[in-house]
Structure 1
């Protein structure tokens, strides 16, 4: 262990440092404007594939514009990925809610018998309880502010009524006494994607898992794994982290049956491809095919790659010509 002694430097000094390391910069004013908007630290992971030693010297011929283009590509890719994740997430919530609610009633999730792990079930209930309590507390704070307004009682009552309707968790806690917690269809929409992933994984009956997965064109183990994958990728994108040369900390399950479409380059390729963007994209395309077939997501994805033809594909685990694989041509 050593003491940290790196000084903070200005964008102008950062630009000078990059040039000393061998990076070619044709337009200094534009490069400086970029570094002022996108921090040096955020740009650093995009530099690493173009650096050749521990001193962070750049491979001869590397230009600042190359880094900017890859950064812009990655930003646009994250937006596309988030679009697909949103549609997949909403659909998964709907399939879980529709099946479990109609099969077992409006408050099925209150019963531990529907879950394998008791502690995870308790955590779910605590999450929903905390959500309602927080919403109730916020509502009362808002009511206190409304009471201090210099207006008539009718206007205050109207404002309070509107505040009550802004959240179902708030509305439920203010309207109903039993059951204590909100119904299934509201619960499924209010929990985080991570909690939803744990909920599905923790369902006690395989028949329920299979029914939900079939509605999404999947087998239960795949949906369980892919839900976890969506959670991980969504968190990366939500924090504006890179996808281009990202190696996931997880390895999503892949289809073993030919009944589920999958790229040949992933069926036949190295297992290392299954921890990079190469595996994320077909997972998202599967959900888009089943949840939003008219959204032209695949076309927009391919157009993005065509717009940035110099983006290195290997860091994503994609082979040259990946878009010509039958998976991307036939769906």
Structure 2
């Protein structure tokens, strides 16, 4: 049976509703502004942790005693800055990996990204249920990106002169997902050569890291809640990285540690680490304990790790 959709409510009615459920709203003008510009539905993801549990362990509608709308606002602003930091790091990592791929493949074949002999056999030969290979599916997506970018001067030049894009030009039309899927299709020896720069040597971890960072990127780019999200594309870390192995791979903090691990290589003089550390000091401390940094996956003593010094 399909339930009836909830009734539309005005901004004042929305404020009355959350007040009636126990939310303290001291600054009504601020609440009106946020509900109008950000929206009730989006903000509800930030006040969700402030909701009480019922007898069955499910979230009830009423809020925990002492829940304040100002804390919800502070959490929303913290998360917004966190998303921007994630996008900043991932953009730099993306560019670096793209260039590494182009440099490695281009020295063997300018069109290696289209040449099955230059890629892993699983990527180019093993067929999916559809009868297509992963490489064929990847090429479809890549060619769609080329068509979308055909008016860009460098794309038009290469297509007019050569009929297709060499790898060093092709990377300029990649999105993060296209790049990470091509990386997954590299030969093991090529993966290991790139991984070594980041202290990895098994040819499998960076592939998973890139998938996870793509998830974080998409979450951030679509203004979705990041700080305590359930990361669906979960990465593994080598056993040798003992500190990272303490972290939960379904929470974002591990992936910020991975970003910092990679940023040390791709952008060693960046202020990104300091900006991240400064941001964590602004995490709202609420008296009723409804939220804490541990919900992000942070563990005790992390600030003493060499990674963050």
State the TM-score bracket (shorter-chain normalisation). 0.7 to 0.9
Determine the structure 1 residue equivalent to 2:277.
Answer: 302
CA gap 1:135/1:324 in 2 versus in 1, 3 angstroms: closer
Among 283, 286, 301, the alignment partner of 2:258 is: 283
Determine the structure 2 residue equivalent to 1:85.
Answer: 90
Determine the structure 2 residue equivalent to 1:24.
Answer: 24
Offset from partner CA, 1:310-330 (integer Å, 9 cap, x none): 26212101124532334322x
1:110 positional shift: 2.2
Q: 2 CA distance for matches of 1:29 and 1:126? A: 51
Matched, 1:43 2:25: no
Q: Is the 8 A contact 1:132 1:173 kept in 2?
A: no
Unaligned runs of 5+ in 2: 54-58, 125-132, 286-290
Question: What does 1:137-286 correspond to in 2, within 5 Å?
Answer: 139=151, 166-176=152-162, 180-203=163-186, 205-219=187-201, 220-258=203-241, 264=243, 266-268=244-246, 273-286=248-261
CA gap 1:8/1:316 in 2 versus in 1, 3 angstroms: same
Q: Is the 8 A contact 1:135 1:167 kept in 2?
A: no
1:76 positional shift: 0.4
Q: 2 CA distance for matches of 1:129 and 1:84? A: 27
Among 129, 140, 143, the alignment partner of 1:126 is: 140
Q: Is the 8 A contact 2:261 2:307 kept in 1?
A: no
Task: Give the SS at the match of 2:268.
Answer: coil
Task: Give the SS at the match of 1:78.
Answer: helix
Aligned length, in residue pairs: 288
1:134 positional shift: 4.0
Unaligned runs of 5+ in 1: 140-165
Q: 1 CA distance for matches of 2:147 and 2:33? A: 46
Q: 2 CA distance for matches of 1:207 and 1:319? A: 35
- Give the TM-score, by structure 2 length: 0.87
Among 90, 102, 107, the alignment partner of 2:111 is: 107
Q: 2 CA distance for matches of 1:55 and 1:212? A: 49
Task: Give the SS at the match of 1:181.
Answer: coil
Q: CA RMSD in A?
A: 1.9
Q: Is the 8 A contact 1:107 1:183 kept in 2?
A: yes
Offset from partner CA, 1:29-86 (integer Å, 9 cap, x none): 1111111111010011111111014441000001000000000000001111111101
Task: Give the SS at the match of 2:18.
Answer: helix
More helix by share: 1
Q: 1 CA distance for matches of 2:66 and 2:218? A: 35
Q: Is the 8 A contact 1:229 1:250 kept in 2?
A: yes
